[in-house]
Every structure is written in C-alpha cells, then in structure tokens.
Structure 1
Amino acid sequence: MYRARLAQVFGADPVEVERWVDGGGPVDTQAWLLPDCSELSLAATVEAAGRLWRCDMDPDRRHLLAALPFVPAVLGDWLTEWAYGTSGEPIEASGPAGRLVGRADVERIDAAWRAFAEIDHRFGGGLVRAAVVDHLHSSVMPLLKGRYDERVGAALLSAAARLTQLAGWTAFDLGRHGAAQQYFGQALRLAKAADDPQTAAWVMTAMTYQAIHLGQGSWAVRLAGAATETARRAQAPPEAMALLLGREAWALSLHRAGASSDRTRTQVERLLAGADQACADGTGEQDGAWMISGDPTTLASQQSRCWTLLGDHRRGVAAAERALAGLAGGSTRALQLARVNAAEAYLGLGEVDQAVEIVRSATSAAGSLSSTRLAERIHGFVRRLEPYAATVQVKEFRAYLAAALAS
C-alpha cells in the first residue's frame, strides 16, 4: 500500500515507484517545486529558475517533473507575487567570477526564442522542447550569473522570462501540465524581477489558456482579468488588448458554460466587441515590446470557442469558418486546432457529416505534428460523437481513426 501512496503523492506511474524502491534512483523531493513568495531577491529568483532547469535536464529527476500534477491553488500564489511582491534591490550583478554580459547576449537569447517559437508553432512542442530547456540551462543561466548593469540586467531577465514561458508552453502542448505550471510561474517571477509588465501579461495569457484547456473556469477568469489589467496599466497597444479581451471572453464563457444567462452573453459580447474594436484600431504591425497580438483570425478562433461553449452554435460555426479561411493553405498546429473548433461547432448544430469531414482533415495532419494537446482535442471530439455512434458516418470515422492510430 505504501508504494501506491508514493505514486499518488508524487503523481508518478506505479512502475516508476517500483524502480525507486528497488534502488533504481532516489525520490528527489526538490523536483516537487512550489512557489516561495518569501524571498523575491534577484539571487533567489535566478536560483529558483536554475533549479527548475537543472531538474528538467537531469535524467533521474526529469520524470518526476513531467509527472507533477496541475495544482490550481498555486496560481493564486503566482498572481499575488506578481501584484504585490517586491525585491527591494536594483537589477545588477557583479560577481567576480561571472562574465560581462552585454546587449548582444540578450539579442542572441531573443533570436533563439524566435527560432524555437516558430518550430513549436509549425510542428508542435515535442519537436523543440528539449532544445529550449537545454538552452536555458547551458546558455542563459551562465549569463544570469554573470556581470551586468541595471539596463542590461532588466533586458536579460525579460529575455530569460520569454524563453522560460516557451519551455512552459511546449510542456503544456505535450500534456505535462504540472511542469508547464512551474515554468509559467518562474517566467512570471523573472518578468517581475525585470519590472516587465509586457512579458508578464503574455505569460498570464498562456496560464489562462492552460486553465481553459483543463476546465478551470474560475481560475481562467482570474488569470485573464489579471493579464488584461496588467496590459492596460502598461498602456498596451490595440493589437495586444484585442487578444487579451478575446481570451477574457473565452475564459468567462467556459466559467459560465452550462449555466449561462442573458447577463453572461451580454458580458461576453461586450468583451468580444472590445476585442474587435481594438483590432480595428491597431496599425496591423506588432509592437516589438509586446509579444501579444490579436489578428482577425485569432479573434475569430476565440469567438468560435466562446459561442460554442455558450450553446450558440450558429455563431460558433460562422466564427470558426472565418478562422479557417484566415489559416487556409497552412499546415500548422493552429490550423488543426481551428478545424477541431469548427467540427465541435458543427456537431453542436447536429451536422454530423460536416463535423466528421472537418475533423478527419485534422486527424490526418496530426501525425506530422508533435502535439499532445491536438491529440487530446481530437479524442475529446470523438467522445462527443457517442450519441451518433450508430450512424454510418461515425462508424466509418472511428474505423479510419483506429487504422490511423495503428499505423
């Protein structure tokens, strides 16, 4: 029984626990990483991030990090630390052993981040995550422990936060939700140390997306609201506000799904209208200081999720079709997720043929992507087909899916 209890406590596979007990490797409780809001100094922030990266690089501890569960209550600690924490010290390091860090070093981190993010977007998190973590551990950490003035230090911490967020995002895409949560939290701490609300708002939008994906509606609303408020205070450009307002509407739709009212619909419509207006007010060019940008295609995708959750499937279908039109011709993960959105909206209308036809395209493309999140969305759609299990279309699709999985 104690072995089963160990497996439950660490969120690990019982087989792994057997290996530990039989001497295959120690259970390192440092892998159970919880936020410590009592120490917000620069040194403590860097050490906490480095400990996470080391854990992910160590073969004997990586499996524990991957097995961590998502803990909703931890989100409150991260938000409190962002809103009220203070380090009380300047951003600079001058240790005698560290190398001198300059702007060129920061630019190289951001160049790596852009390259890794493009691979993630096109092919999924599984293809690039190990490289992101290795870069954080082997290239970014020595810089954080180097010598720099306040200006370079702030830029360095922001760059480290962005790359840490990407490591969390790729973990999320692979279904490693506890690990993703830890990376998002450390990214938020680094953004706090840099006094960088732009990056912090971006991190919180990723945290919102994860909470939505996991059905944590109340937390999604809190995270989305915090991201929007942070961006407003930092005078975010319209393109950034468009995405944030759209995501806030999506979070609210999830939170009120199944018990929606006219008031909920009015709130969602107001947020979506604000997102549309912000998008129209934008210049069409992304502000270099802001990673967040909501274009019409992204907004249409979020609108589709909102209306489908609230049961307004006709509006959900219309928005989903706009999103698909904007993504036409591509083969990215975003296109396949948009196809699943459209399939769910059509299924809500009872148009089973159209729904199955659309999701079949996403299924065939999923094999070339390394994205557990996409696979989970497809399997979630398949479960929704159960009321139509006796129809020819569904039987044929399930046979096709079984053959695709077997190959």
Structure 2
Amino acid sequence: MITKGDGMGGARRHGGRPDLVRARVQQGMSQESAAQALGVTPTTWARWERGEQGVRASYRPRMAALFGVSAVEVERWIEGWSHGETSSWPTTDLGDSSPAATVKSAALLWRLEMDPSRRHLLASLPFVPSALGEWLVSWNYGTPAASAARRGAGRVVGLADVARINEARKAFGQMDQRFGAGLVRPVVVEYLNGTVAPLLRGHYDDRVGSELMTAAAGMTWMAGWTAFDLNRHGQAQQHFGQALRLAKTGDDPLTGVWALAALTRQAIHLEQGTWAVWLARAAADTARRAEAPPRVMSLILVKEAWATALQVKSAEIRDGRRAKQVERLLTEAERAYAKGTTDRDPEWTSRFEAAELNAEVGVCWRLLGEHRRAADCAEAAVTEFSERLPRSVQFNQVHAAEAYLGMGELEQALGTARAAIPVTKALTSARSVDLLQRFSGQLEPYGDTVAVREFRDHLNSELIA
C-alpha cells in the first residue's frame, strides 16, 4: 500500500522496501555502514527500509552510486513500482488519442518536470529504442480522436490563447539557438506546467482544440529539443513522444512529421542507425500522405539521407547501394527545397533555412568519405550563419575540422576546431562540448605530435575555466 508522501521525498510504504534491504545485504553491509556511507543516521536508514520515512531526492543518486545501479532502479526500490505501472514513470502511450487521455498524459509529464523529487529521475532516463516501435505503430495505424473538443473544468480557451503559446515557443526557440538549451529549458518546462497544462484542462470546441493540441505539441517539442541539447536523452524522448501524441489528438500530420524528424535526429546522434532510418521513413510517408509542402519534404529527405549515410559509415563493408541511395535522397531534398515556400508551410520550417540544409548535406558527405565536399558545405554554412546562430556556427566549424582531418590536413583541422572553442564556452549546450571532445578523440592517430598535445591542453583548460 502506498500513501501520500510525507514531505521528506517519496511516499511512505507500509509494506516496507524489501528491494532496498536486499541490495544492502547483497553488498554485505549493515544498516549502520550503509547509513554512514550516505551520511544519515542508522535510525533514518532503518526507517527507510521499513517504509516509515520517505527518501529525499538528494540521497537517491548517492544510493545509486553506493550500490552500483541506475537511478531508475533506486526509484523502483523506494517507490515500489515497475516501469509503466505508476504515474511516477511518465510513459507515452499513443494508443488512446482522446483529448482527456492526452491531456492527462501531457500534464503528468510537465508536472513531474517541476517536482524536485522526480526531476532528477527524468533527467537520468535512458533513451529506449523499443518504445519507438509502439509509437510508430500507433502513429501510423491508430485512429485520431473524433473531436479535439473538451468540456473541462478550466476556463474557456480561445484562439488568442493558442497564438500566445505559439509566440512564446518562437521566442524560446530564438533563445535556444543563440544561447543553448541550458538557459532556456527551465523557462520552457515552467511555461508548460503553469500555462499550457491549465489551458488543456479548459473548455474548448473542436477547432480551438485542434489548434491547442498543435501548439502544446510545439511547446513540448521545445522541451524535448532542449533536453536533447543537454544530453538528457530519455527525457527528450519522452517529450518528443508526447508531441507526437498531441499531434495525433489534434489530427495534425505535419506536426507529427516535426516530432518524428526530431526523434530521427536524436537516433542519429545516438548512432541508432536502423531506428533513425525507420523514423525518417515514417515521417516521409506521413508527409506524402498529407501532401506536405516542399520545404517539409526537403527537411525529411535530408534526415533520411543522414540516417542512411550513418548506416554506410557503420557497416564493416562499404555498401555501394546505400551510398547511391544517400546521393539520391540528397538530390531530392535539394530539389524540393529549390521549389520555394508556400502558404501551407508550418511555422517551424522557418528554422530550416538554406544554410541548415547545406550543413546537413555536408555531414552526409563526410559520412560517405567525401571530405572535400563536406568541408565546403560546412564552411559555407559557417559563413551564412555568421553571428546570427552561434551554436550552428560552432557545429559547422567542428564538422569542417572533422572533414579536414579526414583529408589529412591536420594543421587546418586544428585551426578550424580551435576557432570553435570560444563559442562553445559561451553556449549552455552539452552537445557543443561533446562535439569538440569527439573531435579531440579523433586526433588519436596524431596524439604524439606537439600540435595535437597543445590543442588538447588548450581545449581542456578552456572547457574547465
């Protein structure tokens, strides 16, 4: 039996916490030694095991380190739940697309983001590829809700409320692009919980409901994207999945494409090549069924090319057929982009400018071993982004450095990467740091040279400062 929390972090469990006891015993520890290791009294530890006292959030990571398990496993010991069996675990089930179920699921996720005793769990969630299969089946074959209308207990919601959500997301997006996710993410999740969730629980007709679901999907997409930029991949996946569910409830296939594109990008980053290809193809199929405008098709086609190029790079034997497929997809993406804009373009396609397409094309060429073409694309993107989008500049500086390294031009590679260090320091983006560190790792064949040692020393000192 679980009762309401006691204010000390977690609920009282009247059946005790046998898994916590078992973990301690397996380590050959007494209650006194376990308590000493965590910096609490033996009385407190004994109460934890008996389920008489909650465990503060600050002690849970220490407990995970003490027993050598994941944070999720510690949560299971403390709260007594299994994945998917409790509201403490914010799974995203796309099966029920009714407004009531979707609103409940979204509000739970956003509320947990604001809960100090749960926030650390969300941040430590792993990326779960197996969940993607269920999401794709539900997205492709599930039936949208008959109506997005809702007669909730909250106030009447109108299109002006929806417009304010969209304007807020655009503002947050501009901040994210300029400064990185660390600065903007806390504001995004607070806005979701404090502003968007109450609106979703309100009273609205079908037209407003559809627009509201789309706007909420866009804002939770932003929460996912900023988590992704901070390397919180399970957390990001939860929000991207929630965006997909909101898009399904609002019967908005193009917003669903946007969510699937983000999941594709995340799978590429995590080198989940097969899932990245499947996600990109699902997005492309959705876009074609919706007769998506050319800019949407271009965005998806270049993502599919990128995912396929990753498979080529990862294969033990070069797959010429797949390499040709990448080239075909890139040609199709460029042709679609050249068709220009239409009055049906979603607002989010404005982020996908020509320089971004060129940058992603360059990454594909690098994965195929076409380093000169990759360097040219990256350098052109750096020039185009200039001072407008510092994070995009940094990414492409490092991509250019990787391409130069692939050509054996070590001096040029080091000089280009060195230019990216000041921007990296100014951003609050874990991805930017990881990208530079990955490049540093690629220098290993030249690790004994003076130039590489100096670069690595400079990089480490700057990132620590």
TM-score, normalisation: structure 2: 0.81
* In structure 2, distance between residues paired with 1:106 and 1:42: 16
The amino acid of 2:109's aligned partner reads L
Q: Larger Cα Rg: Structure 1 or Structure 2?
A: 2
Report the secondary structure of 1:243's partner residue: helix
* Alignment partner of 1:181 out of 227, 237, 243: 237
Aligned to 2:17: none
Contact map agreement 2:244 2:256 (CA 8 A) in 1: yes
**2:371 matched to 1:313?**
yes
- SS for the counterpart of 2:126 is coil
Q: Is the 8 A contact 1:258 1:310 kept in 2?
A: no
1:230 partnered with 2:286: yes
Partners of 1:22 and 1:242 lie apart in 2 by 44
Matches within 5 A, 1:4-403: 14-17=61-64, 26-27=78-79, 29=81, 30-95=87-152, 97-259=153-315, 260-283=318-341, 287-292=344-349, 294-330=352-388, 332-403=390-461
SS at match of 1:292: helix
How far residue 46 of structure 1 moved from its aligned partner, in angstroms, is 0.8
1:406 is aligned to 2:427: no
Q: C-alpha root-mean-square deviation of aligned residues, in Å?
A: 2.4
Distance 2:170 2:94 in 1: 30
Question: Structure 2 regions of 5+ residues with no counterpart?
Answer: 1-21, 28-58, 82-86
Larger displacement relative to structure 2 (388-397 or 127-136): 388-397
1:203-253 superposed Cα distances (whole Å, 9 cap, x missing partner): 111111100000000000011111122112222222222221111100100
Percentage of identical aligned residues:
48
Bigger CA drift: 255-264 or 138-147? 255-264
Question: Aligned pair in 2 of structure 1 residues 274, 331: CA closer, same or farther (>3 Å)?
Answer: closer
- In 2, Cα distance between equivalents of 1:276 and 1:129: 32
SS of equivalent residue, structure 1 residue 33: coil
| Aligned-residue offset at 1:328 | 2.5
Deviations 1:313-366 (A, max 9, x none): 122222222222222344521110111111111111111111111111111111
1:36 Cα offset (Å): 2.8
Secondary structure at the aligned position of 1:77 is classed as helix
Q: Does 78-87 or 135-144 show the bigger shift?
A: 78-87
- Find the residue that maps to 1:350 and give its secondary structure: coil
Amino acid at match of 1:391: T
Higher alpha-carbon deviation: 79-88 or 118-127: 79-88
Larger RCO (alpha carbons 8 Å, 6+ apart): 1
Q: CA deviation at 1:22?
A: 11
Q: Distance in 2 between matches of 1:15 and 1:81?
A: 38
Distance 1:363 1:111 in 2: 32
Unaligned regions of 5+ residues in structure 1, if any?
Answer: 6-11
Q: Which amino acid aligns with 1:57?
A: M
Query: 1:2 matched to which residue of 2?
Result: 23
Residue aligned with 2:349, SS: coil
**Conserved 8 A contact 1:32-1:68:** no
Tell me if the contact between 1:279 and 1:295 (Cα under 8 Å) persists in the aligned partners.
no
Corresponding letter in the other structure for 1:325:
T
* Alpha carbons 1:93, 1:146 under 8 Å: kept: yes
The question of whether the paired residues in 2 share the 8 Å contact of 1:239 and 1:292 is answered with: yes
Q: How many angstroms apart in 2 are the aligned matches of 1:105 and 1:168?
A: 22
Partner amino acid, structure 2, of 1:347: L
Larger deviation, residues 289-298 vs 38-47: 289-298
Contact 2:293 2:345 in 1 (8 A): no
CA contact (8 A) 1:198 1:290 kept: no
Q: What amino acid sits opposite 2:218 in the alignment? A: R
| Paired residues, number | 398
Q: Counterpart amino acid of 2:241?
A: G
Amino acid at match of 2:23: Y
Please identify, of 228-237 and 212-221, the stretch whose mean Cα deviation from structure 2 is larger. Answer: 228-237
Contact residue 69 and residue 178 of structure 1 kept, 8 A: yes
TM-score (norm 1): 0.92
